[in-house]
């Protein structure tokens, strides 16, 4: 299933994307279907998920579904508002720190909750952030509380996957030997456009990862190049941090191609970045310069 949150008059309501019999993606409001006010409530409850799954299956076969609002007519909010955002650096072979030897432990950093942004809203290049950069990633969305879980049981705690643009400011990142400031600028974390649940995407094996900047492919890789997989990451991180429903683990970015890196410049006003992953869809982010007050 593809699950989203929709901004309706400032409230973020849970919904499912259904492909109507006419082939158009439409939006099914889940508030009454699942007796839930947020998408996290749906993701964290197997009974609610089962009800939603049945409703989506029915809607996709029902001619009346053509009366539902189209996906392109609604404004998407971030699908979840995570309490904790844990990110991986150098988690793809070909993009490893210090050579091509797999690291013993994951290189983990945090982004603060204020980075989370709608998948449809532009990201502001602030006057205080002169070296904005982008990284297309896959976010693991937690569905069940995870505390010291085994690797064998870890995937049972995953609700699904979303796309994530780990936007950074390299100037702030270089001012300290910790990455948090450069990674935690307000709005520097578009997430979505939806969460694909694990009944549709059970794991991340064999998926193509592609990132474009202004229509030019700068990253092309496969999830098979990941050093640390989803099950290990959930297990490893839950040994010391309680992962709650709606929290995300962003699994890192592959390296840019040598050609793209050779001509790379900071993001500027009007740039458009698209992250595309097989089975998860695509996330397109437009960047705009901060307007004078």
What confidence category does residue 292 fall into, taking pLDDT thresholds of 50, 70 and 90? Answer: confident
What confidence category does residue 233 fall into, taking pLDDT thresholds of 50, 70 and 90? Answer: very high
pLDDT digit string (tens) for 146-191? 999 999 999 999 999 999 999 999 999 999 888 999 999 999 999 9
Mean pLDDT of all residues in 271-284: 98
Residues paired with residue 171 on neighbouring β-strands, in sequence order: none
Q: How far is CA 25 from CA 55, 65, 77, 87, 263, in A?
A: 15, 10, 17, 31, 38
pLDDT digit string (tens) for 45-90? 999 999 999 999 999 999 889 999 999 999 999 999 999 999 999 9
pTM for the full predicted model: 0.96
Residue 224: is its pLDDT beyond 90?
A: yes
**DSSP E strand boundaries for 143-277:** 158-165, 168-169, 189-197, 208-213, 216-222, 248-250, 272-277
Contact by Cβ (8 Å): 264, 185: no
The confidence score (pLDDT) of residue 64 equals 87
Q: What percent of the chain has pLDDT over 70?
A: 98
């Amino acid at each position: 299933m593809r699950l989203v949150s929709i901004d309706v008059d400032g409230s973020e309501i849970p919904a499912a994307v259904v492909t109507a019999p006419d082939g158009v993606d439409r939006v099914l409001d889940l508030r009454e279907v699942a007796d839930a006010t947020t998408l996290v409530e749906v993701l964290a409850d197997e009974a609610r998920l089962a009800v939603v799954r049945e409703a989506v299956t029915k809607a996709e076969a029902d001619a009346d579904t053509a009366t539902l609002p189209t996906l392109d007519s609604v404004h998407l909010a971030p699908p979840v508002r995570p309490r904790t955002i844990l990110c991986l650096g150098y988690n793809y072979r070909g993009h490893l720190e210090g050579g091509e030897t797999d690291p013993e432990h994951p290189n983990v950093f945090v982004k603060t909750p204020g980075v989370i942004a709608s998948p449809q809203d532009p990201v502001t290049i602030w006057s205080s952030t002169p070296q904005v950069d982008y990284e297309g990633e896959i976010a693991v969305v937690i569905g069940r509380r995870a505390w010291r879980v085994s690797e064998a049981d870890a995937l049972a705690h995953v609700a699904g996957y979303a796309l994530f643009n780990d936007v950074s400011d390299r100037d702030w990142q270089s001012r300290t030997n910790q990455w948090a400031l450069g990674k935690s600028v307000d709005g520097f974390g578009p997430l979505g456009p939806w969460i694909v649940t694990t009944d549709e995407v059970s794991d991340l094996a064999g998926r193509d990862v592609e990132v474009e900047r202004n229509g030019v492919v700068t990253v092309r890789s496969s999830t098979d190049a990941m050093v640390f997989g989803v099950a290990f990451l959930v297990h490893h991180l839950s040994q010391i941090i309680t992962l709650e429903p709606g929290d995300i683990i962003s699994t890192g970015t592959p390296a840019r191609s040598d050609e793209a890196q050779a001509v790379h410049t900071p993001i500027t006003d009007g740039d458009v970045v698209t992250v595309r992953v097989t089975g998860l869809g695509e996330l397109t982010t437009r960047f705009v310069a901060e307007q004078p007050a």
